[in-house]
Amino acid sequence: MSNLMTGAAMVFRTLEDQGVRHIFGYPGGAVLPIYDELKNHKKIKHILVRHEQGAGHAAEGYARSSGKPGVLLVTSGPGATNTVTALTDAYMDSVPIVCLTGQVPTHLIGTDAFQECDTTGITRPCTKHNWLVKDIKELSLILHKAFDVAMTGRPGPVLVDIPKDIQFQKGRYVRPKKIINKSTKNNIEINGKDNDIKAVATLIKKSFKPILYTGGGVINSGLAATRLLRELVSLTGFPITSTLQGLGAFPGNNPQFLGMLGMHGTYEANNAMHDCDLMINIGARFDDRITGKIDDFSPRSKKVHIDIDPSSINKNVAVDLAVIGDVKIVLGKLVSLLKQNGSDFANSNRQKITAWWNEIENWRKKNSLSFVNSGKIIKPQFAVQRLYELTKAQDTFITTEVGQHQMWAAQHYKFDKPNRWMTSGGLGTMGFGLPAAIGVQVANPEKLVIDIAGEASVLMTMQEMSTAVQYELPIKIFILNNRYMGMVRQWQELLHEKNYSESYIAALPDFVKLAEAYGCVGIRANKPEELDRKIEQMLSINGPVIFDCVVDKAENCYPMILSGKPHNQMLLGKKEDKVSNKGKILV
């Protein structure tokens, strides 16, 4: 077969060679040649979204739940600008997606042509890299390179902008044998230097109050990394906590797991972070929602940071020892080093940290995730707990929107596998969860996929229900409907004298009727006693469902670290926890 083909055909040939099976997209003038070519490529299924932001989040959900890159295809101008939120979201949360945009023909670039915009200019700060293809000779190489950049090192979004004339032109398709990327070219060690790893092992042996603090980097590193993490935890007997993005890397109901840390993390996790003498950060980034007040962050600990991205080191928190490397490789070396140290290591180590575990157990007794349940009204935490109990027997994938419901989901839904939890952490994008669930369902057709949503967030991308119906994607949208932008209301209650400025949505749609309008099933639960039955009903439906779970309007999400506070001063949501004036200023 000749390798001479049109640019449009080249796009598909690259996708096929990259093993891409699904693309999310929306057509328009500047990508028509590519859409025309689609019919010749039966191996690739196109999912027509209802808004390009949805295509971006769907690609993210696809990538995060499958470990493969997500691909989206959109037109120039408004098609491209509509993807910016999703690209930024993927950039912040290190999600590998490849965005293909059409562009006006090369001779019109710079003339303010119809639907022209400076796509590479606009997306430069929210992609790992982007390309404007000006020559058909470069197209296939750039496309392959785009996949390589998205997937190597710290993953992230990339964009290739393809002018319409290039899509028509014929050129030779080349598939590079080996892509020369930064790490291959500069011979950057991403394996972790042996001496550094030895030093970590020494610190581990010396420590009396250790903690492992793990993040999304463990999940990005792949299944081997999560396996090794479990081995490390059982070998050392150390307590482990996780960031929002890292949930699932370690089983949520294992006794060594202290729960999530940070602003809405558990009492035991945050206190252990504050009081430890050794903190080993694995694939997390000392985000401000984690550290709270930086000056008082874990004041007495030696800090180790294992990360694939050198620029993550010392960015927010100065560490004592940095190991640059891929988590699976570093942990592999570390675990085998610890194993070499004789079989009694595990035992002696466990004894050394008994006092520390006793302290942790005392913090645990606070039961910081507890809440006062009600017989009259559904408490949102209770709803998540019931959802968890009724779905934990299945391999369930959870996405979320952003707000209180997101934090309650993180606190009360326990994950025991990686790639099952997809939430917008870095950017905090309301409207992420529904389209992300679509992407997750496309990647995992037989699995249960639930978006734990807020009623405000879900309206931002609600139109994607139509996509779910079209492709018979049986996603479940479980709305914790508190009629408020709850997280905003909570901050206003605690920090702005209950001035609930514009955080109440007075004219919400009837979600059950809305579901019906989209051609799917709507279910509403008002009372605690009907919750289980209705959840069972939802689970029994083999199609998309919008579940309107009417919950307490006024519930707040605790525990909470008011920022400006160190980790060992948390609000637990009990009566005595009045916020001082000083605390208000600093949050």
Partner 1 sequence: MVKSAYSFATKKEKIEKHIFIVWVDNEAGVLARVVGLFSGRGYNIDSLAVAEVDRSNNISRITISTSGTPKVLQQIKLQLGKLVPVHKVADFPQNKKTLMREMALLKVVSSRSHLEKAKKLCKKHKYAIIDRTGKSYVFEVSASKNEIDNLIKKLQPLGLASASRTGVVAMTKGSEIYKQY
Ligand X SMILES: Cc1ncc(C[n+]2csc(CCOP(=O)(O)OP(=O)(O)O)c2C)c(N)n1
Q: Which residues bind ligand X (CB under 6 A)?
A: 401-405, 428-430, 454-457, 480, 482, 484-488
Indicate the residue among 105 and 564 with the shorter CB distance to partner 1: 564
Distances (CA, A) of 175 to 142, 160, 172, 337: 10, 17, 10, 40
Indicate the residue among 162 and 258 with the shorter CB distance to partner 1: 162
487 as an active site residue: the answer is yes
Provide the minimum distance between the beta carbon of 188 and partner 1 in the complex, in angstroms, as a whole number.
9
Indicate the residue among 192 and 433 with the shorter CB distance to ligand X: 433
Provide the minimum distance between the beta carbon of 56 and Mg ion in the complex, in angstroms, as a whole number.
23
Provide the minimum distance between the beta carbon of 226 and ligand X in the complex, in angstroms, as a whole number.
28
Distances (CA, A) of 138 to 116, 162, 355, 538: 22, 11, 62, 50
Decide: is 406 part of the binding site for Mg ion (CB under 5 A): no
Question: Of 121, 125, 141, which is closest to residue 133 (Cα–Cα)?
Answer: 141
Provide the minimum distance between the beta carbon of 143 and partner 1 in the complex, in angstroms, as a whole number.
15
Indicate the residue among 61 and 454 with the shorter CB distance to Mg ion: 454
Per-residue burial over 438-472, b = 16 or more CB atoms within 10 Å of its CB, e = otherwise: bbbbbbbeeebbbbbbbbbbbbbbbebbbbbeeee
Cα angle, residue 419 at apex, residues 415 and 420 outer, rounded to 5°:
45
Radius of gyration of the chain (CA): 25
DSSP letters, 365-394, are TT-TT-----SSSB-HHHHHHHHHHHHTTS
Indicate the residue among 119 and 481 with the shorter CB distance to Mg ion: 481
Neighbouring C-beta atoms of residue 428, cutoff 10 Å: 16
**Among 482, 490, 492, 568, contact with Mg ion (rule: CB under 5 A):** 482
Q: Given the DSSP bridges, would you call strands 97-103 and 545-550 parallel, antiparallel or unpaired?
A: unpaired
Provide the minimum distance between the beta carbon of 437 and Mg ion in the complex, in angstroms, as a whole number.
18
Provide the minimum distance between the beta carbon of 55 and partner 1 in the complex, in angstroms, as a whole number.
24
563 touches, from ligand X, Mg ion, partner 1, none (C-beta below 5 to 8 Å by class) = partner 1
Q: Which of 430, 460, 485, 487 is catalytic?
A: 487
**Among 153, 163, 439, 454, contact with Mg ion (rule: CB under 5 A):** 454
Task: Give me 492's structure tokens.
Answer: 């206003």
115 as an active site residue: the answer is yes
Provide the minimum distance between the beta carbon of 269 and ligand X in the complex, in angstroms, as a whole number.
22
Contact positions vs partner 1 (CB under 8 A): 120-121, 124-125, 128-129, 132, 134, 149, 182, 185-186, 288, 293-295, 309-311, 313-315, 318, 491, 495-496, 563-564, 584-587
Stretch that binds Mg ion, among 191-199, 261-269, 392-400, 485-493 (CB under 5 A): 485-493
Cα angle, residue 250 at apex, residues 245 and 252 outer, rounded to 5°:
90
Taking the C-alpha atoms of residue 91 and residue 155, their distance in angstroms, rounded to an integer, is 8
Q: Is residue 532 classed as helix, strand or coil in its secondary structure?
A: helix
Distances (CA, A) of 206 to 354, 408, 574: 14, 37, 38
Distances (CA, A) of 282 to 45, 115, 308, 327: 37, 44, 10, 7
164 as an active site residue: the answer is yes
Decide: is 486 part of the binding site for Mg ion (CB under 5 A): yes
428 touches, from partner 1, ligand X, Mg ion, none (C-beta below 5 to 8 Å by class) = ligand X
Indicate the residue among 345 and 500 with the shorter CB distance to partner 1: 500
Indicate the residue among 100 and 560 with the shorter CB distance to ligand X: 560
Residues 6+ apart with CB under 8 A from 126: 84, 87, 88, 91, 157
Q: Which of 12, 60, 128, 164 is catalytic?
A: 164
Distance of CA 278 to the CA centre of its chain: 27
Residues annotated catalytic, as ranges:
52, 114-115, 164, 487
Q: Which residues bind Mg ion (CB under 5 A)?
A: 454-456, 482, 486
